[in-house]
Amino acid sequence: MGIEELYKELHNVNASRESRLKHSEIILNDLTLLPLLIDIMFRVDDKISCRAAWVFEFVCIKYIYAIIPCLEKFTQNLHKVHYDSAMRSISKICALIARAHNSNDPNPLKKALLPRYKEYIIESCFDWLINEQKVATKVHAMETLFLLGKDSNWIHKELVNILERDYQTQSAGFQARAKRILRKIKSTL
């Protein structure tokens, strides 16, 4: 399957879990399609990019290590995504990367996540937190920053400043996660 065939197939993806799961299995069964999926996902002015992001999220949920050969392209293009539904999936993938990187178990993502890739993720997550984004994107961003901030004190300090500053004006979902993250950060200080 080439990029045009994959693009056409993505027209069949809908927001249902079953649809996203079915299409993620196509990618997982042929990982040579993953770079094509990412290319489509970063056609950020095309609505089909959202469907590619949904599928990619499910690929990463099932097998986060599939992202390793594509980390550079993924991290360098995070800042370009602007559709809310794609951004939610992209921010969730960042959280999955951060969880794997922060895991106590040895895994290939720990070595593959180079400092510059972390910088791209951290920068995008801070942008999502301070700009007008949906709560799901912000929640995944704060989790990612908390986990990646374990390696860098400045990240936690800046995250605390943002969460405390924005706490009163944000939704209940944001507040609940912010309270949990703030408690975790303060327990490590």
Exposure of 10 by Cβ count < 10 A (0-12 exposed, 13-18 middle, 19+ buried)? buried
Are residues 76 and 51 part of one domain? no
Indicate whether 83 and 130 sit together in one domain. yes
Q: Are residues 50 and 94 both part of a single domain?
A: no
- Of the residues 15, 42, 62, the one at which a domain ends: 62
Tell me: do 179 and 87 sit in the same domain.
yes
Mark whether 165 and 85 lie in a shared domain: yes
- The structural domain count of the chain equals 2
Tokens standing for residue 41: 């996902």
* CB contact at 8 A, 154 and 171: no
| Token digits of residue 24 | 């993620």
Taking the chain, what is the end-to-end CA distance rounded to the nearest angstrom? 51
pTM of the model: 0.95
Cα Rg, the chain, nearest whole Å? 17
Domain end call among 28, 46, 62: 62
Q: What percentage of residues in the chain have a pLDDT greater than 90?
A: 89
Instruction: For 90-143, write each residue's pLDDT tens digit.
Output: 999 999 999 999 999 999 999 999 999 999 999 999 999 999 899 999 999 999
Which of 28, 43, 62 marks a domain boundary?
Answer: 62
Joined tokens for residue 105: 């178990």
pLDDT value of position 189: 65
What whole-number distance in Å separates Cα of residue 156 and Cα of residue 132?
21
Same domain, 93 and 178: yes
Note the pLDDT of residue 140.
97
Which residues span the domain enclosing 6?
Answer: 1-62
13 within 8 A of 54, measured Cβ to Cβ: yes
Residues 6 or more apart in contact with residue 105 via CB below 8 angstroms? none
Contact 52, 37 (CB under 8 A): yes
Nearest Cα neighbor of 41 from 92, 77, 84, 94 is 77
Same domain? 126 vs 151: yes
Q: Is the sign of the CA dihedral 186, 177, 83, 169 positive or negative?
A: negative
Average pLDDT over residues 170-189: 89
44 and 94 in one domain? no
